[in-house]
């Protein structure tokens, strides 16, 4: 048998969510018992638990599980990390890319761990500003680097499909620490993430 990933959901939470989502559908003017909607509360209950699974995950633990001693003092940049989150004000998605850089101080982590840290904090109800700082702090606390920088560019559905209905606005947030407080280091990072070396 090939690879099989089993998804697990908290039974009690799922049951409670199903009942509440049924109620929500009816309050919105729908008929929660019609054929197309019968299983929707259950699907939604599972989708929302998936999208908020970060509450049960520990970013520091993930980095510490793959921490290697290495004498590198060059900037390490992981750019274009896909990101999907939910805004805590409207529970509508915001999505985009995270760019992360750090200058090690004797310790590095696996590149995939950096991407997983983004998911840990993105899979919660969030504001983009806090998400940016939380990612930075997790790297700072676990690797104690000489500097760390995080830039996130995202589109917010709560702005695009409701409210001001601005389809093309991208929100950019950033957080810098240590060496990245210096202009030269920060500029190098920003230059690296804005150039496309694959062309
Ligand atoms: Zn919002």
Q: How far is the CA of 53 from the centre of ligand 1 (A)?
A: 19
Question: Is 177 in a helix, a strand, or coil?
Answer: strand
CA-to-CA separations, 89 to 23, 44, 119, 121, 156, in angstroms, rounded: 21, 18, 19, 16, 11
Q: Is the separation of the CB atoms in 162 and 142 below 8 Å?
A: no
Q: How far is the CA of 123 from the centre of ligand 1 (A)?
A: 15
Given the residues 15, 70, 82, 89, the one annotated as active site: 89
The phi-psi region of residue 43 (left if phi > 0; otherwise alpha if psi is between -120 and 50; otherwise beta) is alpha
pLDDT score, position 156: 95
pLDDT score, position 115: 96
b vs e for 108-134, b when ≥16 Cβ sit within 10 Å of the residue's Cβ? bbeeebbebbbbbbbbbebebeebbbb
pLDDT score, position 2: 81
Tell me the pLDDT of the chain averaged across its residues. 95
Distance CA 154, CA 168 (A): 10
Distance CA 75, CA 70 (A): 13
Given the residues 87, 99, 126, 134, the one annotated as active site: 87
Is 91's pLDDT higher than 90?
A: yes
Q: How far is the CA of 159 from the centre of ligand 1 (A)?
A: 7
Percent above pLDDT 90 for the chain: 88
pLDDT score, position 199: 63
Q: pTM value?
A: 0.93
128 carries an active-site annotation: yes
Distance CA 81, CA 118 (A): 8
b vs e for 7-20, b when ≥16 Cβ sit within 10 Å of the residue's Cβ? eeeeeeebeebbee
Average pLDDT of span 87-94: 97
Is 1's pLDDT higher than 80?
A: no
69 carries an active-site annotation: no
pLDDT score, position 165: 75
**pLDDT tens digits for 132-191?**
999 999 999 999 999 999 999 999 999 998 877 777 789 999 999 999 999 999 999 999
Is 197's pLDDT higher than 80?
A: no
90 carries an active-site annotation: yes
Q: How far is the CA of 88 from the centre of ligand 1 (A)?
A: 6
Given the residues 90, 129, 141, 167, the one annotated as active site: 90
Average pLDDT of span 2-21: 91
Is 198's pLDDT higher than 80?
A: no
């Amino acid at each position: 048998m090939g690879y099989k990933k089993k998804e697990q959901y908290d039974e009690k939470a799922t049951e409670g969510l199903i009942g509440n989502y049924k109620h929500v559908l009816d309050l919105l003017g729908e008929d929660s018992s019609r054929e197309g909607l019968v299983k929707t509360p259950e699907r939604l209950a599972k989708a929302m638990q998936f999208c908020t699974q970060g509450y049960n995950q520990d970013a520091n633990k993930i980095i510490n599980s793959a921490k290697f001693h290495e004498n590198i003092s060059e900037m390490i940049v992981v750019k274009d990390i896909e990101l999907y989150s939910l805004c805590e004000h409207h529970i509508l998605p915001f999505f985009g890319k995270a760019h992360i850089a750090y200058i090690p101080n004797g310790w590095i982590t696996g590149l995939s761990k950096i991407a997983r840290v983004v998911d840990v904090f993105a899979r919660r109800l969030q504001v983009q500003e806090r998400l940016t700082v939380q990612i930075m702090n997790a790297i700072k606390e676990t690797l104690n680097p000489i500097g760390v920088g995080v830039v996130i560019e995202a589109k917010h559905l709560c702005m695009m499909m409701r409210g001001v209905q601005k389809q093309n606005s991208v929100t950019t947030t950033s957080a810098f620490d240590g060496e990245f407080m210096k202009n030269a280091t920060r500029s190098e990072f920003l230059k690296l993430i804005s150039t496309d070396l694959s062309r």
